[in-house]
């Protein structure tokens, strides 16, 4: 057991996982085997938003057998570990067409700025472009609050924190953005990612201003609840 991974789980208020991490099914199973009991003991669950479920269902329809198998396995893992995951919606009720309006990355980046004011967050993704966007949004001068951890899953199921912004390989990340459009969605939502980042940052900045002007009730808006 890696103490850094254990500390990430125990110190965060929310854990959020994206499609790319769920698709790395061997790594995911190792993570759950190593840290499932830690997650339960800490009173946490891994939140899976509706858009992630839609992306998994969309992958079931693609013409690449490996992706179909990974998506099937990922959905099975969610069902088999219902005590560790909190699904925003039942997979059978999720319409895959929502990913044409808003991809999961946009939802996740919005959470960075929305919840940061009051809550420590742990994001798990194997998409370098998304990890970079999470760190970038977190480091904005206008966004203040609790720590945000952007991590990836290693093959043996450990969480590796993504480097700070000054350590980024910008050329490599730009290449990754293009590749990530095809890797998980077969290019059906190409170009949506960075538009989503911009809108999420703007919305998040406004949200932070609103939080600073209203009385904190401790109750999160239903539209954004984890």
pLDDT digits (tens, 9 = 90+) for 118-132: 889 999 999 998 898
Beta carbons within 10 angstroms of residue 4's beta carbon: 11
Q: What is the average pLDDT score of the chain?
A: 76
Task: Look at 117 and 156; give whichever has higher pLDDT.
Answer: 156
- Report, as an integer, the average pLDDT of 149-159: 95
For the chain, give the percent of residues with pLDDT over 90.
47
Q: Are 59 and 184 in contact (CB under 8 A)?
A: yes
pTM, 2 dp: 0.73
Task: Look at 45 and 134; give whichever has higher pLDDT.
Answer: 45
In the chain, the domains with their CATH numbers are: 3-224 (3.40.50.1010)
Residue 117, SS3 per DSSP: coil
Q: Are 184 and 131 in contact (CB under 8 A)?
A: no
- CA gap 162, 152 in Å, rounded: 7
- CA gap 194, 176 in Å, rounded: 12
């Amino acid at each position: 057991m890696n103490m850094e991974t254990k500390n990430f789980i125990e110190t965060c208020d929310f854990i959020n996982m994206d499609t790319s991490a769920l698709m790395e099914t061997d790594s995911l199973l190792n993570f759950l085997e190593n840290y499932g009991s830690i997650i339960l003991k800490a009173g946490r669950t891994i939140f899976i938003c509706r858009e992630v479920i839609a992306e998994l269902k969309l992958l079931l329809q693609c013409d690449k057998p490996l992706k179909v198998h990974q998506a099937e396995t990922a959905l099975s893992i969610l069902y088999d570990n219902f005590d560790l995951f909190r699904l925003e919606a039942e997979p059978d009720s999720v319409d895959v067409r929502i990913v044409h309006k808003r991809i999961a990355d946009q939802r996740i980046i919005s959470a960075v700025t929305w919840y940061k004011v009051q809550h420590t967050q742990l994001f798990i993704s194997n998409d370098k472009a998304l990890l970079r966007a999470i760190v970038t949004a977190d480091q904005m001068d206008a966004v203040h609050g609790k720590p945000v951890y952007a991590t990836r899953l290693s093959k043996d199921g450990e969480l590796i924190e993504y480097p700070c912004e000054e350590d980024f390989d910008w050329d490599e990340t730009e290449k990754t953005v293009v590749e990530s459009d095809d890797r998980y969605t077969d290019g059906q939502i190409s170009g949506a990612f960075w538009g989503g980042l911009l809108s999420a940052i703007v919305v998040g900045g406004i949200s932070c201003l609103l939080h600073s002007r209203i009385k904190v009730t401790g109750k999160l808006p239903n539209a954004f609840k984890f």
